[in-house]
Amino acid sequence: MNDLRRLSLNQITIDQWSLAEVVEACAGAGVPSIGVWRHKLDGDAAAAAHVVRDAGLRVSSLCRGGFFAAATEAERRERDDDNRRAVEEAAELGTDVLVLVCGPASGRDLAAGRAQVAEGIERLLPHAIDHGVRLGIEPLHPMFVSERSVVCSLGEASDLAERFDAAQVGVVIDVYHVFWEAGVERQIEHVRGRILGFHVCDWVTPTNVLAGRAMMGDGVIDLRRLRAAVERAGYDGPIEVEVISEELRQRPGEEVLSLAIDRYRAEV
Amino acid sequence: MNDLRRLSLNQITIDQWSLAEVVEACAGAGVPSIGVWRHKLDGDAAAAAHVVRDAGLRVSSLCRGGFFAAATEAERRERDDDNRRAVEEAAELGTDVLVLVCGPASGRDLAAGRAQVAEGIERLLPHAIDHGVRLGIEPLHPMFVSERSVVCSLGEASDLAERFDAAQVGVVIDVYHVFWEAGVERQIEHVRGRILGFHVCDWVTPTNVLAGRAMMGDGVIDLRRLRAAVERAGYDGPIEVEVISEELRQRPGEEVLSLAIDRYRAEV
C-alpha cells in the first residue's frame, strides 16, 4: 500500500470542481499535491497560487503549453504568446514543470508539424529558463495524432527532448499514452534524468477516444511495472492521478477523490 | 492518375455485399483483384475460389489468421487449428498471403502476449510453408492494443518478422495503422523484401475507434508519400483499398465501389 506522500491529483480528474474546491478537498484528504489546468485559473494565476499555498498544497505541474504547429504566422505568434503566459503562470503557481501537449500538424505533413514543434520549443525555452520552468514534452497516444499531438511515442519525445539541455527540457510519462509501446521499459531507462512527471490512470476495453480513461485498476495497464521502470530510471517525484473520463465527471467529486486515493494506494 | 492494374478491393470495404456480389461488381468495373475475408467464405473456400476464378479475378490476400495469445491450452489449440484452416483457405483461393492480426494479450502482460504471438507464428509456419502461403504480420494502430493486436508498430512487426525467413514471413502495411509513426519511411525501407501487402484508406478527425476509417482523400494521411516509400522499398504488388466504415456500410455497394475506384485513381 502506498502512503500519500507522492500522490498528486490532476484536477482534470474532477473537472466538475473549481480549483478552490479541489484544493480544499485534497488538503482535507491528505493529498499533498495537485496538477493544475490553465482553464481553471480564471486568468488569475496569482490568486490561484494563494489558494493553493494557503491550503499547504504544492502544484506538481501545470497543464498545458504546446500546440505549436500553426497554419499562419499570425496564429504562430498568438500561440507563442500564449505559451509564454503558460510559463509565467507555472512560475506563479510555484511549479517548475509546464506540460507540453505539442499539438497536431496543420495539414497532412507530419514531418513539417514535428519540425514546427521543435522550433516552437526552441522559441519558448529562453522564457522558460528565465522563469525557472522546465518544459515537459508529453507524448500522446497515436490515436490523438491528428487532434492533439504529433509526438506520439516516448521514443519520439525522448529524441525531441535530447535536442535540449536535460535541466531545461524533459518528458512527462503518462501510462495511458505509452503503455502499448513494445520497448517502453527500455525507453523509460533511456530518458533517465529527464522524467518531469509520471501520470497514472487505466485503459479499458473497448476504448473510447476522447474521455474514456478509467481509474487505476479498472483496466489493462500494468501500472506497477511502469512505475518500477520509472523509479529504476531515477524518478522520485509526484505521481499524478489524471483520469479524463466522462463517467467520472457525472459523479460527486468527493466520491471520485476517495476512489482515486484508494486506487492509488492499492494499484499504483 | 492511376490505372487499375494494381488495385485490389478488400471486401470489408463493402461488407454489405456477399463475396459473389463483390466479385461480379469488381469484374464489371475492371478491378483485377480482391482481398477476401474468411467470414465471407461461408466455410467453403473451394466454392469461393471457383467464383473468383470464373470471373477472372485474383485474390491479393486473405484476412485473417492470428489472435495467438490464449488464456488456456485448449483455447490455444483451437486457435492453432483455426489458423491452419486459414492457411488452407488462402491456398485454395490462390493467394500466397495470409494476413495476421496478431490478437491482444490475454491479460495485462503485453510482453507475455507478444511472446505468445511469436510462438504462434512459429507453430503455424510449417503448415504455411507446406501450402505455399506467406504469413503477413499486420501491425495495428496502438488504439487496438487491448482488443486486436499487441503488435502495434511497423518497427515491432519488422522485428518479429525478422525472426523468420523473408520468403515465409513478412509484413502487411496499412496506412491507417502506421502513418503516425515518426520513422515510418525509414521503417518501410527497413522491411524491404518483406512487404506482402499495402492497404490504403484515410484517417479522419475526430476519429472513431471501431469503424471510423474513411475513403482515401477524405482525411489526413499523406498517401502518396507512403506509397512512394513502399515502392522505393521494392514493393510492386496489389494496393488494397480497405475502408472499415459504418458510414460506407449504409450506402449502396455500387456507389462505394465507384468511389473507391475514383479515389484510388486520384489520391493514391
User: pLDDT tens digits for B12-49?
Assistant: 999 999 999 999 999 999 999 999 999 999 999 999 99
SS3 assignment, position B158: helix
Cα atoms in the Cβ-side hemisphere of radius 13 Å centred on A3: 2
Please tell me which of the candidates A141, A156, A206 has its beta carbon nearest to residue B147.
A206
> How many degrees, rounded to 5, is the angle at CA B230 between CA B94 and CA B156?
85
Tell me if A142 and B145 make a contact (CB, 8 A cut-off): no
SS3 assignment, position B72: coil
* pLDDT of amino acid B266: 95
pLDDT at B2 > cutoff 90: no
- Distance (Å, whole) CA A240 – CA B109: 23
Tell me if A209 and B210 make a contact (CB, 8 A cut-off): no
- Distance (Å, whole) CA B266 – CA B264: 6
* pLDDT of amino acid A167: 97
Tell me if B141 and A142 make a contact (CB, 8 A cut-off): yes
CA dihedral sign, ordered B225, B231, B232, B235: positive
Cα atoms in the Cβ-side hemisphere of radius 13 Å centred on A104: 17
Tell me which H or E stretch contains B53. Answer: helix B45-54
CA dihedral sign, ordered B251, B253, B257, B258: negative
* pLDDT of amino acid B64: 97
Q: Any idea what DSSP says for residue A128?
A: H
Spans in chain A with pLDDT lower than 50: none
Per-residue cell: B60: 491479393
Tell me if B221 and A156 make a contact (CB, 8 A cut-off): no
Residue A36 CB: number of other CB atoms within 10 A?
29
Mean pLDDT, rounded, for B246-261:
94
| Mutate which: B102, B106, B109, B110, vs A, most A CBs within 10 A | B110
| Mutate which: A110, A150, A156, A209, vs B, most B CBs within 10 A | A110
Residue B6, Cα to own-chain centre: how many angstroms? 15
Backbone φ and ψ of A134, nearest 5°: -95, 145
Tell me if A222 and B152 make a contact (CB, 8 A cut-off): no
Residues in chain A closer than 8 A to B104 (CB atoms): 205
* pLDDT of amino acid A34: 98
- Distance (Å, whole) CA A32 – CA A58: 6
Tell me if B109 and A179 make a contact (CB, 8 A cut-off): no
* DSSP-derived pairing of the beta strands B169-174 and B195-200: parallel
* pLDDT of amino acid B139: 98
Please tell me which of the candidates A152, A159, A210 has its beta carbon nearest to residue B180.
A152
Residues in chain A closer than 8 A to B143 (CB atoms): 141-143, 207, 209
* pLDDT of amino acid A231: 96
* DSSP-derived pairing of the beta strands A58-66 and B213-214: unpaired
* pLDDT of amino acid B15: 95
* DSSP-derived pairing of the beta strands A213-214 and A202-203: antiparallel
A10 beta partners: A35
Residue B97 CB: number of other CB atoms within 10 A?
22
Residues in chain A closer than 8 A to B207 (CB atoms): 143, 146-147, 209
Per-residue cell: B65: 489468421
Residues in chain A closer than 8 A to B222 (CB atoms): 108-110
Query: CA of A211 to nearest chain B CA: how many angstroms apart?
Result: 12
Tell me if B180 and A114 make a contact (CB, 8 A cut-off): no
| Mutate which: B109, B116, B137, B146, vs A, most A CBs within 10 A | B146
Residues in chain A closer than 8 A to B228 (CB atoms): none
The pLDDT tens digits of the residues spanning B115-151 come to 999 999 999 999 999 999 999 999 999 999 999 999 9
- Distance (Å, whole) CA B241 – CA A161: 38
Tell me if B206 and A210 make a contact (CB, 8 A cut-off): yes
* DSSP-derived pairing of the beta strands A195-200 and A169-174: parallel
ipTM over 0.90 threshold:
yes
- Distance (Å, whole) CA B121 – CA B80: 9
Query: pTM to 2 decimals?
Result: 0.95
* DSSP-derived pairing of the beta strands A134-137 and A169-174: parallel
* pLDDT of amino acid B1: 75
- Distance set, CA A184 to CA A177, A178, B178 (Å): 11, 7, 18
- Tell me which chain B residue has its CA closest to the CA of residue A222: B108
- Tell me which chain B residue has its CA closest to the CA of residue A225: B109
Task: Report which of B61, B130, B69 is spatially closest to residue B99, judged by C-alpha positions.
Answer: B61
Q: For residue B208, what pLDDT band results from cuts at 50, 70 and 90?
A: confident
Query: CA of A97 to nearest chain B CA: how many angstroms apart?
Result: 25
Tell me if A153 and B182 make a contact (CB, 8 A cut-off): yes
DSSP string, B183-240: THHHHHHHTTT-EEEEEE-EE-SS--TTTBEE-TTSSS--HHHHHHHHHHTT--S-EE
* pLDDT of amino acid B265: 95
Please tell me which of the candidates A209, A219, A222 has its beta carbon nearest to residue B206.
A209
Tell me if A147 and B114 make a contact (CB, 8 A cut-off): no
Q: Detail the DSSP E strand segments found in A32-92.
A: 33-37, 58-66
- Distance (Å, whole) CA B49 – CA B41: 9
Mean pLDDT of chain B: 96
A&B contacts, CB < 8 Å: 83
Q: For residue B207, what pLDDT band results from cuts at 50, 70 and 90?
A: confident
